[in-house]
Structures are given as structure tokens and as C-alpha cells.
Copies of this chain bind each other. A is one copy, B any other.
Amino acid sequence: MNTKDNKKNAISPSREENYSEWYQQVLKAADLAEHAPVRGCMVIKPWGYAIWENMQKILDTTFKKLGHQNAYFPLFIPLKFLEKEAEHVEGFAKECAIVTHHRLEKGKDGKLIPAGPLEEPLVVRPTSETIIGEMFSKWITSYRDLPLKINQWANVVRWEMRTRLFLRTTEFLWQEGHTAHATKEEAQEETLRMLRVYERFAWDILAIPVVVGEKTPQERFPGAVSTFTVEAMMQDRKALQGGTSHFLGQNFARSSEIKFRDAAGEEQFAWTTSWGSTTRMIGSLVMTHSDDDGLVLPPRIAPLHLVIIPVVHKEESRVMVLEYCHKLAADLREISYHKQEISVLVDERDMRGGDKSWSWIKKGVPLRMEIGPRDIEQNRLGLAFRTKGHKDLIMLKREELLLQIGDLLDAVQTHLLEKALSFRRNHTHKIDNKEAFYAFFTPKNKENPEIHGGFALCHWSGDPEIEEKVKADLGVTIRCIPLDEQEEEGVCVMTGKKSKRRVIYAKSY
């Protein structure tokens, strides 16, 4: 392997050559996850899981500040609960793992077979509205019990036929918030508040400039009155849905009988919401920032901010160099960066310095530093950035590094956000006629058929038939009706019917 300057990259194929294979290779090179020997499931390896733990920590702190409490509900959902909400069960029936037996027995050929059939099959939770609704119906009796704001960190299972690490797997990890309120307005506010939490988290922490919007009725969560989403653009210009937030109206309250007496003593159904974000965000992070040398991590989510590589050519300088490195690491750890300590590793592995550097480049660590006796003597430390050429060093005195480390990390963070934002802007176009629309979504390069136009901002009159046609013709869907765009008179790009606003059409994961 070699440096960027020599035009040879660590990841093959490149993004241009084969985007989806590039993604797999980045995951592999960074050691984030791999396919499990269980159909459609993944093993999240330590580096991937450390990113997930950071996501959890930051989101969890925000949820708690907003008054949500964590709890835990059963993995198994009796079929009769799932059936209560007709649209809901319809939406999940095709992709459920079903538990039907509760022990194993030796069959005639001596092989183990399922035994102890259950009277009622249990569904491994694809989401928990129905079981949590059942509990809410017991816990809520009066308006004094409201709002009830619960969050759960858990694994869920959806039997996906085609799976991709982090993006679509049979089992994945997530958080699901579930709240109940006395009024419609309050539940709607909560829905949007949590949507904005996902938006801020994506922009500020993941450096992913998501668009927030509402899903069309076609794309709603099964059983919801309205579904909101944050949508990001990947480097192949496809959309990836991040956190979603659902206003459930009184649908689940009716099916689960979540009722309360209001201040006047009248019995009413509660208004509920649910909102979730998943390990999919790791896939989004990978595809937003990584390059042809591997993973690139924004500092605010990186498990490690800086790797120090001691350079020892002569045995007699070993102790001195190592001591210096460890002391520097200890001093850096005393510095607080966005309420966390700066995370530093001194890489003492028995391995060539160049190989060490490359291993951390591929893992996306924002900053690297090789330190040898001369650097120490001259108090000139060379800081390398994951986001610059691998041999472009910034020279700093020790005391400057300690003083500036937070700003340097923030500069990387800002750079990544701006880069992603400008990428999204460059590939987002207002399109007002059908031919241009079809051309936009038709790949130019047969060698790399995944690369197409990006996000098309088009007028849409609200016809679900248009969504179906566009999906059938181009594999394109309406990702969302953006919340923060101005209303604007126009005509539907497909039908010419009057329309009040533009929506985002895109191919998506």
C-alpha cells in the first residue's frame, strides 16, 4: 500500500469503480462488522460497536434531558397483540421470525428437532408498539399519568430477503421511543421534537447534512397517521433514511385501549408517538465520509481522536520515546472535547510504522502523529490528518498541540460537514419536466450503473399512482416532503396537475 500522493489507494475497488463493493471493502478494512454465519445477521466487531456506543451515549443523554426514561419490554410479542392494529400487522407479517417451540428433543434419527409446541406462536419483535401499548394501557389511568415518555434500547428482527451490513440486516440494534399524551397537539409536538433531535444529531455529531421531511402516505410506518424522516445523500447519490418519528394519532391507543380520565373526569384515548434510530446510522456514516483509503470518522463520533505512533530506531531511545508518548497521551486525555475526554492511543504494536499508520487510516481515526527522538528533541511534532494527504503534516510544538487539539478536531468536523453539504447541494436539482426527470435518474455510465443524478426536487400533486409509476420505471421513490422548504406554486413533473410544493425524489437504500 502507498500514500495518496502516489495515487494508489488502500481500498479496491474505488467508489468510482464499484460503489457497493467499495462499501463492503471499507467495512472490512476498518474491521467494523462482518456477515454472521446466521442468515441475514451481522456480527458487529469492536470498532463498529464502539461507534454505536458513542451514538447511544449521545442520543441517550439527549433523550433523558428531554424527560424520557429507559425501560425494557419483552423480545417476544404474542400474535394476538400484533393483530390488534390491522395496518401494522399487515406491514410486518411478511418479515417476522416466529417462535413456535420451546425445547429440543432427539428425533428418530438421533438428530435434535423442535419440540414443545407453543399454544400461541410468538413473534420476535420487529418493533414494539403493540407490546408497549399493552403496558401503557395498564399504566395510564388519569391525565396525571401523562405524558408518559419511554425509550428502549433493544435488538429487533425483520426477516429481510436481501441483506447488507448495517443497511439492511435481519437483526439490528436500535432505540425506540414511545410516548403517550393527553392531546393531539402535544403528541404532534413530541413527534417533531424527536425528529429535530435526529436532525441535530446527524448534522452536529455525524456531520451528515440530512434533509428533514414528511413521508408520503405510501411510505408511512404501518399504523401511523404521519411519519417524518431525516434523509441523507450517500456518495453514490442515493438517499439513506436515518431516524424516523411517527405521529400515531389514536390508532394504537384504540387498538391497545390506552385510555385516561381527563381533568373533567371524561374517559379519552391517549395520543401516541414512536421514533427510532438504528445501527443503520453506522452505514450512513461510512457512506457519507469515507474515501478510497477507507473509513473517515467525524471527531465527535470517533472512538479514538488521535493515535500516537512511537518511532524507535535505536534501542537506547526506546524508554525515552515511550515515556514521552505516554505522558503526552495522558496530558491530552485531561482535555475535554464536547464533554468527553480526548481519546488517545499509543500504538506500541510490534509492526512497521507505515503499516501502523495505514491501519489507522483505514479505520478513520481523525489525527495521527509519529514521534521519534528528533521530534522530541526539537519539540516539533508532525500531526497528520485523515482528511488531508497522508504525508501532509502540520508541525506543532507540544504546548501548541495541547492548546489547539480541540480546535483542530472541530475544524475536521466542520470540514466533513461542509464537504458533505456541498456534495448534496451539487447533486440536488430542481427538475420541472418529465424528460429531464427520466434522464436525471438514468445512469450515464454503463460501467457503473449505480451513479445517477441524485436528489430531484420536483412538484408532486399527491397522486399515489405517480409514486408507483416512478418506482416501476426508475426505481425512484419520494423520499420526503421537505419541512423546511417554502411553499411554491407549480405543476407535477409527471402529470402537469397543480401542486403546492416540491418533494424529493431519489433512489434509495
Contact of A71 among B44, B72, B113, B124 (CB under 8 A): B44
Is A98 in contact with B93, judged by CB distance below 8 angstroms?
no
Does the CB pair B76–A49 fall under 8 Å?
A: no
Cα of A116 to Cα of B161 in the assembled complex, Å: 12
CB distance from A301 to the nearest CB of B (A): 16
Structural contact, A114 and B102, CB atoms closer than 8 A: no
Contact residues in B for A121 (Cβ distance below 8 Å):
101, 113-114
Among A77-85, A306-314, A389-397, A479-487, the stretch that binds chain B is A77-85
Whether a CB of chain B sits under 8 angstroms from the CB of A171 is yes
18 sample A-B contacts, Cβ–Cβ < 8 Å, listed by A number: A37-B131, A38-B122, A41-B76, A43-B71, A43-B72, A44-B71, A46-B70, A76-B170, A83-B112, A94-B104, A95-B103, A96-B103, A98-B99, A98-B101, A99-B100, A100-B101, A102-B159, A103-B159
Mark contacts of A103-125 with chain B using CB atoms, 8 A cut-off: 1 yes-contact digit, 0 otherwise. Answer: 11100000011101000011110
Interface centre among A89, A102, A159 (most CB of B within 10 A): A102
A60 closest partner in B (C-beta): B53
Return the chain B residue nearest A77 by Cβ.
Answer: B38
Whether the Cβ atoms of B49 and A71 lie closer than 8 Å is yes
A101 to B73, CA, bound (A): 23
A150 at the B interface (CB under 8 A): yes
Say yes or no: A72-B49 contact (C-beta < 8 A), given A83-B112, A122-B38.
Answer: yes
CB-defined contacts of A103 to chain B, threshold 8 Å: 93-96, 98, 159
How far, in Å, is A179 (CB) from chain B's closest CB?
A: 13
How far is A159 from B49 in the complex, measured between Cα atoms in Å? 29
B75 touches A157 (CB 8 A): yes
Query: What 10 new A-B contacts, CB under 8 Å, besides A36-B135, A37-B134, A98-B100?
Result: A36-B73, A38-B76, A41-B76, A75-B75, A75-B124, A94-B103, A97-B101, A97-B102, A99-B124, A101-B121
The interface residues of chain B lying within 8 Å CB-to-CB of A36 are: 73-74, 131, 135
Query: Lowest 9 A-B CB distances belong to which pairs?
Result: A46-B69, A41-B74, A44-B72, A93-B104, A98-B101, A102-B159, A98-B114, A38-B74, A36-B74
Please measure, in the bound complex, the distance between the C-alpha atom of A124 and the C-alpha atom of B46, giving whole angstroms. 23
> Within the assembled complex, what's the spacing in Å between the Cα atoms of A45 and B122?
22
Q: How far is the CA of A38 from the CA of B72 in the complex (A)?
A: 13
- A428 on the B face (CB < 8 A): no
Which A39-80 residues sit within 8 Å CB-CB of chain B? 41-46, 49-50, 52-53, 69-79
**Residue from B43, B79, B95 in contact with A73 in the complex, judged by beta carbons closer than 8 Å:** B43
Given contacts A43-B135, A74-B43, contact A96 B89 (CB under 8 A): no
CA distance A78 to B78 in the complex (A): 23
Whole-angstrom distance between the Cβ of A12 and the nearest chain B Cβ: 22
Alpha-carbon separation in the docked complex, A37 to B134 (Å): 8
CB distance from A436 to the nearest CB of B (A): 41
A494 within 8 A of B: no
Measured CA separation A82–B73 after assembly (Å): 27
B93, A71: Cβ atoms closer than 8 Å:
no
Q: Which residues of B contact A124 (CB under 8 A)?
A: 75, 99, 124
Within 8 A of B (CB), among A449-487: none
A335 contacts partner chain B, Cβ-Cβ < 8 Å = no
Q: When the two chains form their complex, are residues B75 and A155 in contact, meaning their CB atoms are under 8 A apart?
A: yes
How far apart sit A52 and B95, CA to CA, in the bound complex (Å)? 32
Report the minimal beta-carbon distance from A143 to chain B, rounded to whole angstroms: 12
Inter-chain contact B95/A70, CB cutoff 8 Å: no
A73 / chain B contacts, CB cutoff of 8 Å:
36, 43
Residues of B within 8 A of A401 (CB): none
Task: List residues of chain B with CB within 8 A of the CB of A72.
Answer: 43-44, 49, 52, 173
Which residues of B sit under 8 angstroms from A95, Cβ to Cβ?
102-103
Residue from the list B52, B75, B97, B116 in contact with A171, Cβ < 8 A = B75
Write the nearest CB–CB distance from A364 to chain B, whole angstroms. 17
